[in-house]
Chains A and B, each alone.
Chain A
Amino acid sequence: MDILNALVALLNFVVIPATAYGAQLALGALGVTLIYGILRFSNFAHGDTMAFGTAMTILVTWALQAAGITLGPLPTALLALPFAIALTAGLVLATDRVVYDYYRRVRAAPVILVMVSVGVMFVMNGLTRFVIGVDEINFADGARFVISARGFREATGLAEPLTLRSSQLITLITAALVVWALFWFLGRTRTGKSMRAFSDNEDLALLSGINPNRVVAVTWIIAAALATTAGTLYGLDKSFKAFNYFQLLLPIFAAAVVGGLGSPVGAIAGGFVIAFSEVGVTYAWKKVAGYLIPAWQPEGLLQLLSTEYKFAVSFAILIIVLLFKPTGLFKGKAV
């Protein structure tokens, strides 16, 4: 039995990738859950908002690179991020003014808003394709690895390699900072508290003199920031392809529902639940098992589901939660 190598393999293939992916999902789910809490509909355009935001990051990154500005070992995209957030926030605010505002005023049923968000999704999708095309784009620059496989092997003498890509570390640090800032904002500032009040009890918030338009605008800005950050981190970690972001919608929704729609803490927990399940179920456990029980030579790869079915994992979890606990792990707003 070789526990050390098994642990390294586990870290390398499951824990690190799932943590990074979970952080990306959590940021996406936070945006979905905030919009649900305040505007009271599931925003189907969120995946494409992420795609648009990432496209903006890429364009600004290219512009910076062309001007000879980089961040050294860090990806230039981090420098581009604030600009991209501003551009994306501008787009969603304009969308809100032109599209959603009307439906709020006539107090349309939530399902109409969901459908409207589908229309917005189409338009944003077209917009993203228009500005950046449909091809896969790799925009990560700077150092590739924090810990490289070779370096780790040489340093430890273990047979198993361990790699930590810089995009993964950056994801974790950025996500932690963003989540901390968000919770500080919601829990400590006047505007943040007014958003929570609005989400809790809209009528009473109005009676207290809270300005709904301001709350809505701030919500969209935060959602745009979260979406752009999540999308950029995902793109740095994997690569950018507009259609992949549409497909991220399902795990993001699943994360938000699992945590409880409307609950920010739930969104974060949900993101990690989904990510670890997805990676754990689609990982081939043969290697880890081989270190732990050398005598056992299993026939297959010990992979529960092939990676093509990773979305099925989110879906299965979603269904189980809907069946047994529709309010989610952290008691979301509505059933």
Chain B
Amino acid sequence: MSFLLAEGMTGGYGAADILHGCTLKVEKGQIAVIVGPNGAGKSTAMKAVFGMLKLRAGHVILDGEDITALTPQARVAKGMGFVPQVNNVFPTMSVEENLEMGAFLRRDDFRDTMEQVYDLFPILKQKRRQNAGELSGGQRQQVAVGRALMTRPKLLMLDEPTAGVSPIVMDELFDRIIEVARTGISILMVEQNARQALEIADMGYVLVQGANRYTDTGAALMADPEVRRTFLGG
């Protein structure tokens, strides 16, 4: 059984459904990528997996346990970490305090986790006394990812971690994400840069209007001429 199994998710913000039976799976230590046009419901699907949206149908199973009814906070405690697409740092708190807040639920000593994050993103160590709101876009994304890693999650969910960063920084971030996955953490990620993301993805999901259009391994999707033509720009 998959580490994360979100099956047949249906629901939305108000009367109208945004998601229509959307299904996502992530295996242990693998990277799953969701791509799709703007407004397809990618962020909505992430929120649904994280319990920030009321589902009318479907369920979410993490490591064999049904967590559909749990609050986001409880899911954090179960080993999920989420980096939202926007507003994903505490702007008037220092980088270090952002990381501390990530570890809020931990009562043990989390200094070594912080060191690991600093090893992963050395620039953050340099800037750890600076307020997160004063960092560049790429640095802020690193803080956001670092914050989510502080709980030592077993599943890390990233909503467009490379939004608004330069190609160089993007490659760098992808490398870091692969590194994280190598440590055994499963990753579910939404990406606008579909080609690069599918290249590193074990599984890929193409979401259109709140439903799965294509589901396959990253390599297979990259190879599919139909997917290439409509979603990867040729």
**A70 vs B101: C-alpha distance in the bound complex, in angstroms?**
45
- Nearest-CB distance from B53 to chain A (Å)? 13
**A229 vs B84: C-alpha distance in the bound complex, in angstroms?**
41
Cβ of B73 and Cβ of A211 under 8 Å apart? yes
- Nearest-CB distance from A184 to chain B (Å)? 15
B102 CB-CB contact with A under 8 Å:
yes
- Collect the chain B residues with CB atoms within 8 Å of residue A129's CB: none
Cβ of A200 and Cβ of B76 under 8 Å apart? no
Question: Which residues 141-160 in B have Cβ within 8 Å of A in the complex?
Answer: 147, 151
**A208 vs B105: C-alpha distance in the bound complex, in angstroms?**
7
Q: How many A-B residue pairs have CB under 8 A?
A: 58
Cβ of B77 and Cβ of A207 under 8 Å apart? no
Stretch at the interface among A49-57, A188-196, A288-296, A314-322: A188-196
B89 CB-CB contact with A under 8 Å:
yes
- Collect the chain A residues with CB atoms within 8 Å of residue B231's CB: none
- Nearest-CB distance from B204 to chain A (Å)? 25
**A206 vs B74: C-alpha distance in the bound complex, in angstroms?**
10
Cβ of A209 and Cβ of B77 under 8 Å apart? yes
- Nearest-CB distance from B92 to chain A (Å)? 5
Cβ of A208 and Cβ of B93 under 8 Å apart? no
Which B-chain residue is minimally distant from A211 (CB atoms)? B73
Question: Which residues 79-103 in A have Cβ within 8 Å of B in the complex?
Answer: none
- Collect the chain A residues with CB atoms within 8 Å of residue B76's CB: 207-209
A1 CB-CB contact with B under 8 Å:
no
Cβ of A193 and Cβ of B101 under 8 Å apart? yes
**A190 vs B107: C-alpha distance in the bound complex, in angstroms?**
11
Which B-chain residue is minimally distant from A196 (CB atoms)? B93
**A209 vs B89: C-alpha distance in the bound complex, in angstroms?**
14
Cβ of A194 and Cβ of B73 under 8 Å apart? no
- Collect the chain A residues with CB atoms within 8 Å of residue B92's CB: 196, 200
Question: Which residues 190-227 in A have Cβ within 8 Å of B in the complex?
Answer: 190, 193-194, 196-197, 200-201, 203-211
**A204 vs B98: C-alpha distance in the bound complex, in angstroms?**
10
Chain B interface: which size bin? Answer: 20 to 34
Chief secondary structure at chain A's binding surface: helix
- Nearest-CB distance from B171 to chain A (Å)? 26
**A194 vs B105: C-alpha distance in the bound complex, in angstroms?**
11
**A211 vs B101: C-alpha distance in the bound complex, in angstroms?**
12
Chain A interface: which size bin? Answer: 10 to 19
- Collect the chain B residues with CB atoms within 8 Å of residue A206's CB: 72-73
- Nearest-CB distance from B156 to chain A (Å)? 13
- Nearest-CB distance from B101 to chain A (Å)? 5
Pick the most buried of A193, A196, A208, A210: most chain B CB atoms within 10 A of its CB.
Answer: A208
**A196 vs B131: C-alpha distance in the bound complex, in angstroms?**
13
Which B-chain residue is minimally distant from A333 (CB atoms)? B92
Cβ of B104 and Cβ of A204 under 8 Å apart? no
Which A-chain residue is minimally distant from B106 (CB atoms)? A209
Pick the most buried of A190, A193, A200, A211: most chain B CB atoms within 10 A of its CB.
Answer: A200
Cβ of B72 and Cβ of A190 under 8 Å apart? no
B183 CB-CB contact with A under 8 Å:
no
B63 CB-CB contact with A under 8 Å:
no
Interface string of B71-104 (1 = CB under 8 A from A): 0110011000010100111111100010011101
- Nearest-CB distance from A200 to chain B (Å)? 4
- Collect the chain A residues with CB atoms within 8 Å of residue B82's CB: 207
- Collect the chain B residues with CB atoms within 8 Å of residue A197's CB: 90, 93, 97, 101, 104
Given contacts A194-B104, A209-B104, A210-B104, list 15 more A-B pairs with CB under 8 A: A193-B100, A194-B101, A196-B97, A197-B90, A197-B93, A197-B101, A200-B93, A201-B91, A204-B84, A204-B87, A204-B89, A206-B72, A207-B82, A208-B102, A209-B105
Q: Which residues of B contact A (CB under 8 A)?
A: 50, 72-73, 76-77, 82, 84, 87-93, 97, 100-102, 104-105, 147, 151
Q: Which residues of A contact B (CB under 8 A)?
A: 190, 193-194, 196-197, 200-201, 203-211
8 contacts across the A-B interface (CB closer than 8 A)? A193-B97, A193-B101, A201-B87, A204-B84, A204-B88, A205-B90, A205-B101, A209-B73
- 4 closest A-B pairs by beta carbon, nearest first, are A209-B105, A200-B90, A209-B76, A197-B101
